[in-house]
Amino acid sequence: MQSARQKLLSLLAHQSFRLGEFKLSSGGTSDYYIDCRTTTLDAKGSQLTGQVFLEEIRRREWKPQAIGGLTMGADPIVVAVSVVSGELHGFLVRKADKQHGTGQRIEGFRDKGARVVIVDDVCTTGASTIQAIEVAREFGFEVVGAMCLVEREEAKGRANVEKAAAPAPFVAIFTATDVRKEHALQADDTQPSIYAVAASCELCGRPAVTNSPRNRCEAHRA
């Protein structure tokens, strides 16, 4: 039986990983893009995200009272972990001070001195994670850990976050290499065909000859 971690990786590779030419928030370009929100906002993906992050937090014995991060990449992760745990509170960090109402930068859990973990979806330069760490500490939280769902392994992102988070550790659930390898495995047509039973091609409706990874007829199996 697959673990929650393996199921989450499989979902990221299937739903969030795209090949092509993309401009990144860092200003650079890449031949791939990982849109984690198509997974973290998916019903099953949200549940798996909460489970995997919670397992890692407990394994590290950080014992936080809350989890939070910069809106909006962190939003679905914060909610997922809070709901799955049933005990960790959530907070969101605005990108700028609120200009009306209470004018607060942090929404949700606001107990000064509390132990918290900062989370993000993708780490490239680490700028959004670092911003959340700085705001959390300025508010009065004790940051005991920083986590991201996928680390792109470029633009000095890890080094930047580790420096900002210290002495708290920085943990990546997956690297972009992990997701890319899983994506390649899912798209590998060199494996023997798995014959479909009572299925039709998803593209044309003719009888399917494979159902791995999709129901396809002979003409559309490639």
Give pLDDT tens digits for 12-56: 999 999 998 888 766 778 899 999 999 999 999 999 999 999 999
pLDDT at 155 (0 to 100)? 80
pLDDT at 96 (0 to 100)? 85
The mean-pLDDT minimum among 58-72, 99-113, 191-205 falls in 191-205
Q: Taking a C-beta distance cutoff of 8 angstroms, is the pair 69, 120 a contact? A: yes
pLDDT at 193 (0 to 100)? 41
Q: Taking a C-beta distance cutoff of 8 angstroms, is the pair 135, 91 a contact? A: no
pLDDT at 98 (0 to 100)? 64
pLDDT above 80: residue 123:
yes
177 pLDDT band, cuts 50/70/90, is: very high
Q: Taking a C-beta distance cutoff of 8 angstroms, is the pair 90, 65 a contact? A: no
pLDDT above 70: residue 143:
yes
Q: Taking a C-beta distance cutoff of 8 angstroms, is the pair 113, 135 a contact? A: no
Higher pLDDT, 29 or 91: 91
Between CA 183 and CA 105 the distance in angstroms is 38
Average pLDDT over residues 180-191: 80
Between CA 181 and CA 186 the distance in angstroms is 9
Average pLDDT over residues 58-78: 97
**Token pair recorded at residue 40:** 């973290």
194 pLDDT band, cuts 50/70/90, is: very low
Higher pLDDT, 22 or 164: 164
